A = this chain, B = another copy of it.
Amino acid sequence: MSVSLDNIKSAARRIAPYIHRTPVLTSQSLDQRVGAQIFMKCENLQKVGAFKFRGASNAVWSLTDEEAKRGVVTHSSGNHAQALALAAMMRGIPGYIVMPENAPLVKKNAVAGYGGNITFCEPTLQARESTMEKIRLDTGASVVHPYNNEYVIAGQGTAALELLEDIPDLDVIISPVGGGGLLSGTSIAATEIKKGIRVIGAEPEKADDALRSMKAGEIVPSLNPKTIADGLLTSLGTLTFPIIQKRVEQIVTVSETGIIESMRFIWERAKIIIEPSAATVIAVLWESKIDLSRLKVGVILSGGNVDLEKLPWQK
Q: Is the CB of A45 within 8 A of B308?
A: no
Known A309-B314, A314-B309: A271·B25 in contact at CB below 8 Å: no
Q: Is A47 an interface residue (CB 8 A)?
A: yes
Partner of A308 from the list B44, B267, B270, B309 (CB cut-off 8 Å) is B267
A216 within 8 A of partner (CB): no
Interfacial chain B residues near A308, Cβ < 8 Å: 264, 267-268, 311, 313
Residues in chain B near residue A143, CB distance under 8 A: none
Are A271 and B47 within 8 A (Cβ)? no
Question: In the bound complex, what is the Cα–Cα distance between A308 and B270 (angstroms)?
Answer: 13
Interface flag for A95 (CB, 8 Å):
no
B271 and A45 contacting across the interface, CB-CB below 8 Å:
yes
- Of all chain B residues, the one with the shortest Cβ separation from A304 is B271
Residue in B47, B270, B273, B313 whose beta carbon sits within 8 Å of that of A267 in the complex? B273
Given contacts A28-B47, A267-B308, A309-B313, 7 further A-B contacts (CB under 8 A): A20-B25, A44-B271, A45-B270, A267-B273, A271-B304, A272-B273, A309-B314
* Chain B residue contacts of A45, Cβ below 8 A: 25, 270-272
A17 to chain B, nearest CB (A): 13
Residues of B near A271 (CB, < 8 A) are 44-45, 49, 272-274, 304
23 A-B residue pairs with CB within 8 Å: A20-B26, A23-B23, A23-B25, A25-B45, A28-B47, A44-B271, A45-B272, A49-B269, A49-B271, A267-B273, A267-B308, A271-B272, A271-B273, A271-B274, A271-B304, A272-B272, A272-B273, A273-B273, A308-B311, A308-B313, A309-B313, A309-B314, A311-B311
Please name all residues of chain B whose beta carbon is closer than 8 Å to the beta carbon of A270 when the two chains form the complex.
Answer: 45
Chain A 224-267: CB-based contact to B (< 8 A → 1; otherwise 0): 00000000000000000000000000000000000000001001
Measured CA separation A314–B313 after assembly (Å)? 14
Q: Which residues of chain A from 279 to 315 have a CB within 8 Å of any chain B CB?
A: 304, 308-309, 311, 313-314
Smallest CB gap from A309: residue in B: B314
With the chains together, A264 CA to B311 CA distance in Å? 14
| CA of A213 to CA of B3, assembled, Å | 63
CB distance from A72 to the nearest CB of B (A): 20
Closest to A275 in B: B271
**Residue from A20, A25, A268 with most neighbouring chain B CB atoms (10 Å):** A268
